[in-house]
Amino acid sequence: MNVDLTVNLSSLKMRNPLMLASGVLGNTGAILRRVAEAGAGAVVTKSIGVKPKKGYLNPTIVEVDCGFINAMGLPNPGVSEFIEELKIAKKSGVPVIASVFGSTEKEYAEVAYRMEEAGADAIELNLSCPHAGGLIQFSQDPKRTFDVVRAVKSAVKIPVFAKLTAEVTSIVEIGKAAERAGVDGVTAINTLRGMVIDIEVARPILSNKFGGLSGRAIKPIAIRCVYELYRELSIPIIGVGGILDFRDVVEFMMAGASAVQIGSAIAIKDLNIFREITVDLKRFMEEKGYKCLKDIIGLAHEEG
Ligand code: SIN
C-alpha cells in the first residue's frame, strides 16, 4: 500500500509532518538547510526580534532526568542581519517558518513583515518563552494574544501560527482568542518554566536561574493541550514537546495535531531522527491500513 505522508498546513505544503522546532539549530541558514537535507518536512528558525540581542551568559542549558532546561535569553542577530540567513535557508526547498518575537504587537508585526519580504513561508509567533523578554505574558492573556495576532495578520499575507504556553488556566481560551484574531494555526506547547540547583554550591545552575523545561518530561502535558485545543478549535494544531520516535508522532496526531515539531530529541539522537521517524511512521501506517495522515488526526477523540 502506498502511504501518503504529505501535509497541507494552511497554504504550506509539507512532504512529511515533521518540523524542526524553534530554538534548536535554527540560527543560521546553513544549519537550517542541513536539517531539511536530513529529512525535515519544514524548518522553524530561532526566534528573531527587531534588534540584535546577546542573550544570557553561560550556563544556558542543563540536562535533567527527562529532558533539558534552557535559558538562552533569545540571542539573535536582529531581523536585518537574519534575513540573509533566511534566504540561504530558503534554498533547502522545504517551507521555512520564521519564529518572531517582540515587546509590543508593533514589533512582532514589523519583524514578521520583514521576514515575509525576505521569503519566509510562514510566521510562528513566539508568545510563550517562559523566562525571557516577558513573552509568556502575551499567551497568558487572551486580549494580548488577540492583539498580537491581529497586528501580525494585518501586516503579512503568509500563514501565521501562534506558539502557546501550557502555563495558563485554560489554553483553549487563549487558542480561541488567537483563532478569533485570524491565526492560521496554533503550536502547542512551549517549554515550561523550571529550575535546577547545584547542591555543591547551593545555587541555581543556569545564569538566568530560571529556564524552560523541554523533552520527555513535558510530553503528556503537550498531548493534553493538543487534545483540548483540537476539541474546541477549527484551525490546525502543531504539536511539540518530547517527541523521540514515531509512536510519539502518532500520539500527537491522534490527539489532534496536523504536524509536529522536534527539538530536544536531536540532542539525543542527532539529525537522523527525521528519516528514522519518517520510515517508521510509514511502516506503522501500512501495517494498520492508514492511507494518509488525515486517517489518524484526531482519532483519539472518537467515541466507542
Ligand atoms: C531562549 O532563547 O532562551 C529560549 C526561547 C524560548 O523558549 O522561546
Q: What contacts 24+ positions apart, CB below 8 Å, involve 36-39?
A: 36/89, 36/92, 36/93, 36/94, 37/92, 38/271, 38/272, 38/274, 38/275, 39/274, 39/275, 39/278
* Predicted TM-score (pTM) above 0.85: yes
Q: What is the pLDDT of residues 231-290, one digit of tens each?
A: 999 999 999 999 999 999 999 999 999 999 999 999 989 999 999 999 999 999 999 999
**Position in ligand 1 atom list of the atom nearest CA 208:** 3
C-alpha cell at 107: 514589533
Q: Residue 100 and residue 46: Cα distance in Å, rounded?
A: 8
Contacts (Cβ under 8 Å, ≥6 apart) of 254: 296, 297, 298, 299, 300
List, for residues 174-224, the tens digit of each pLDDT value: 999 999 999 999 999 999 999 999 999 999 999 999 999 999 999 999 999
**Would residue 129 show up in a list of annotated catalytic residues for this protein?**
yes
Share of the chain above pLDDT 70, in %: 100
CA distance 195 to 266: 22
Exposure letters 70-109 (e unless 16+ CB within 10 A, then b): bbbbbbbbebeebbebbeebbebebbbbbbbbbeebebbb
Query: Does 1 score more than 90 pLDDT?
Result: no
- State the Cα–Cα distance between residues 38 and 274, nearest whole angstrom: 6
Sign of CA dihedral 31, 35, 38, 42: negative
As a whole number, mean pLDDT of residues 130-140 equals 92
User: What is the atom index within ligand 1 of the atom nearest the CA of 126?
Assistant: 8
Across residues 134-139, what is the average pLDDT? 92
- The grid cell for 108 is 512582532
Which atom of ligand 1 has the smallest separation from the CA of 72? 3
Confidence of residue 131 (pLDDT cuts 50, 70, 90): very high
Average pLDDT over residues 114-141: 95
Rounded Cα distance between 4 and 103, Å, is 41
Task: Give the start-to-end residue ranges of the domains of the chain.
Answer: 7-56+73-191+214-301
Report how far ligand 1's centroid is from the alpha carbon of 294 (Å).
32
Using the predicted structure, report yes or no on whether residue 9 has a pLDDT greater than 80: yes
Q: Is 194 in the pocket of ligand 1 (CB under 6 A)?
A: no
Q: Cell 524542526 maps to which residue? A: 20
> Which has more pLDDT, 134 or 16?
16
Residue 48, ligand 1, Cβ within 6 A: no
**pLDDT for the residue numbered 303:** 83
pLDDT at 304 over 90: no
Distance 290 CA to ligand 1 centre (A): 36
What pLDDT is stored for residue 2 in this prediction? Answer: 87
**Least confident range of 23-27, 46-50, 108-112, 118-122:** 23-27
26 has pLDDT over 90 = no
C-alpha of residue 73 to centroid of ligand 1, in Å: 6
Q: pLDDT averaged over the chain?
A: 96
Domain covering 7-56+73-191+214-301 in this structure, CATH number: 3.20.20.70
Angle at 182 between CA 77 and CA 191, to 5 degrees: 50
Distance (angstroms) between ligand 1 centre and the Cα of 23 equals 6
72 lines ligand 1 (CB under 6 A): yes
What's the pLDDT score for residue 171?
98
Range 244-252, long-range pairs (CB < 8 A, 24+ positions):
244/216, 244/268, 244/269, 244/273, 245/276, 245/277, 245/280, 246/276, 246/277, 246/280, 246/281, 246/284, 248/219, 249/17, 249/18, 249/277, 249/281, 250/281, 250/284, 250/296, 251/223, 252/222, 252/223, 252/226
